[in-house]
Structure 1
């Protein structure tokens, strides 16, 4: 008896969209990925292709003309993009994190409502300015402060890394609420490109994720009071920025690992056909890597779907995400995903051998491995493990 698989209209539409993303990956991202990496250049063709399909407003509600996708659907897209070009995937993900901050915390303001409509129409690219010289990597602390002037407000900030800043149309920046405010009393501010000056203060020649173009920059901007989010950054970060970052970054890394394993599998299949053998050296590495990928998927998806359910009831979101158990779980997702992506790519390298080590081979995972090593540095795993260790001392398992 055949079991029919009934899908809702929305599922069918998203399936079609995901297939369109895969086609962009095949036709645009993969052919350019090596040159993006080699030249440490912005993946302009990839972002343009996503912009053309309206995917920069994927999370913007349909009320404003966006796609109104869920975080689960964003994760699926990030996973696909990560299989073709991790740089494009990470830039798209970081942009979506900024969009989510506006969607979740700005809709009560007519200014941000209009900005969302403008974002949809222009397919604007948003970047984040949370890093700062002198705070030791602690994004919940700021030295720079919002300052009131006779004509509005100003912000001067020295950023240690400003991803794709030169190519962004707008920025969400953290700062102290005022010059008199404590370092942890932060607000988030929307800086528009026309009113913002970026001054390059560092170079960009990293090991991996080279196309994100994230040098140090000094930022100077002017803006009106309506650009300042009414929600404190502490609350905004807990409810939106941290969950979106950990889950969507992990989705991107999941994509890197998926493609590395696919290359290793294809390498073994090709070798097995050549040798006319049913079992060849490297099989055990493939089995182990496959198990690790399954663990990565299960760990990510459990917390992803849990957070998605929380978003369905925004009124109680703060209580839900502030739960110590969820915080521990969320941090674990990021740490484990960033560790597993490296391990899986390393297993793929062992399977492919010199073919995986060579930059010019169709089985190369050199770029994958270099990109994967950045994962443990994006909000340091050491910092998250220290946080979780402290939380475990007071958390009671339910």
Structure 2
């Protein structure tokens, strides 16, 4: 299940980050704390600038590099992989849509590892739905007022900058949403509540209230037309990045199980010729190959620069997210059944299946699959010929 890598030195950069991640994994999961050491490694290696063009000092990476990097990080820790993928999603939005002045001042800082970006899209009562916003932009004299509460902000307490969805200024409707960038130093950032989830504990997605002022040119894209950014960048890169992270986590779990089974101790404990064991391993691998194939098809569609608003292409991207969020946890559950209580359920097993189960349980809830199925039902009605991307 290898993924082609365009950047020749990407593997060495990722090796440094994964080594740091592994060294602190037990503590960050146990204590539900943000992986500050892994973030420092992402800064140090330049990976925060993966999708920033070389003209701004970045690595000039592509969506394929994002998928490869996120999948690799997912093998070590799903929380770190998701933090990285969501940062890259924000960076890509800035690359494509930021005002020239904002891009010139901000993108070199992202490339240099100075700015870790957090996404602020959730609101009480609407969850992570991207199409509407309640909190409205106000202001005058070239400055915009931000007063925003978000119940879930992944890594927000540690972010250096924020991309925030707000209702456009004036008499805009809830569907006229603007995306605004704010440096941490331009805001008062107040964290509230605790973060004690079942899994994804190191993502530290605490509620935040953001208040402050930013210049008017910090609106990213056309005011009130965030839906264009969502369709072009946020949605596609979210589904590619999340699915790559989930696939990496499940693939890492399978790899650790296989190494354990093939070790001298594993050969003594397990009958590797057992038909039941072999069948469960086969099912787990089949699920991951299915997700990998769908991920590669969706990635190729995005790489081709196709019009992603067409129903068949939206259905493909949504299908990737839904399928990955269902099949990756199922693949790990197959492994739990295959190796049993000692190595499938207990925390101290080197297979880390217990952690993978907890982390991957969040996949279907991360922009809930029910919401995507409703959207897909409407898209399906528009595609009477049942075409494929």
Band the TM-score falls in, shorter-chain normalisation = over 0.9
Q: Is the 8 A contact 2:67 2:241 kept in 1?
A: yes
CA contact under 8 A between 2:5 and 2:68: conserved in structure 1?
no
Aligned counterparts of 2:314 and 2:120: Cα–Cα separation in 1: 23
1:290 lines up with 2:285 in the alignment: yes
How far residue 86 of structure 1 moved from its aligned partner, in angstroms, is: 1.1
Match of 1:145 in 2: 136
**CA separation in 2, counterparts of 1:133 and 1:49?**
33
2:330 is equivalent to residue 343 of structure 1: yes
The 1-side partners of 2:84 and 2:270 are apart by 43
- Written as runs of structure 1 = structure 2, the 5 A alignment for 1:22-41 is 22-25=15-18, 27-41=19-33
Q: Quick check: 1:135–1:143 contact (8 Å CA) kept in 2?
A: no
Counterpart contact for 1:247–1:300, Cα < 8 Å: yes
Q: Is the 8 A contact 1:359 1:366 kept in 2?
A: yes
1:237 aligns with 2:230: yes
**Which piece of structure 1 moves more, 330-339 or 126-135?**
126-135
Q: 2:340 aligns with which of 336, 353, 376?
A: 353
1:375 to 351, 360, 363: 363
Range 145-154 or range 75-84, more displaced: 145-154
Contact map agreement 1:54 1:123 (CA 8 A) in 2: no
Shift of 1:134: 2.8
State whether structure 2 residue 202 is matched by structure 1 residue 211.
yes
Report the aligned-residue RMSD: 1.8
How far 1:179 moved relative to its partner? 4.4
User: Which stretches in structure 1 are left out of the alignment for 5+ residues?
Assistant: 1-10, 311-316
8 Å contact from structure 2 (residues 247, 291) kept in 1: yes
Which of 378, 389, 397 in structure 1 is aligned with 2:386?
397
User: Deviation of residue 212 (structure 1)?
Assistant: 0.8
Alignment correspondent of 2:258? 265
The C-alpha deviation readout for 1:180-238, integer Å capped at 9, x for no partner, is 21000011000110011122232211111111111122211210101012332010110
Q: Is the 8 A contact 2:130 2:230 kept in 1?
A: no
Mapped to 2, the partners of 1:146 and 1:15 lie a distance apart of 43
Structure 1 position 361, deviation (Å): 1.4
Distance 1:309 1:166, change over 3 A: same
- Deviation for aligned residue 1:113: 2.2
TM-score (norm 1): 0.91
How many aligned positions are there? 378
The worse-fitting range, judged by mean Cα deviation, of 342-351 and 118-127 is: 118-127
CA distance in 1, matches of 2:290, 2:337: 20
2:48 and 2:113 in contact (8 A); partners too:
no
**2:122 maps to which of 125, 131, 134:** 131
Partner of 1:5: none
2:374 aligned partner: 386
Distance 2:5 2:201 in 1: 35
- Alpha-carbon separation, structure 1, partners of 2:349 and 2:292: 27
- Measured at CA, do residues 347 and 278 of structure 1 come closer, stay the same or move farther in structure 2, by a change above 3 Å? closer
Distance 1:288 1:306 in 2: 27
Deviation of 1:85 (Å): 1.2
Q: SS at the partner of 1:31?
A: helix
Q: What is the aligned partner in structure 1 of residue 11 from structure 2?
A: 18
Counterpart mapping for 1:1-398 below 5 A: 14-25=7-18, 27-106=19-98, 109-150=100-141, 152-231=143-222, 232-270=225-263, 273-274=267-268, 279-280=273-274, 281-310=276-305, 320-354=307-341, 355-395=343-383, 396-398=385-387
Q: How far is the alpha carbon of 1:124 from its aligned partner?
A: 1.1
User: 1:272·1:279 contact (CA, 8 Å) conserved in 2?
Assistant: no
- Local SS of the residue matching 1:199: strand
Instruction: Assess if the C-alpha contact under 8 Å between 1:154 and 1:221 holds in 2.
Output: yes
CA distance in 2, matches of 1:253, 1:141: 27
Partner Cα distance (1:128, 1:295) in 2: 30
**Cα offset, 1:37, TM superposition:** 0.8
Worse-superposed segment, 195-204 or 180-189 = 195-204
Distance in structure 2 (CA, Å) of the matches to 1:328 and 1:277: 43
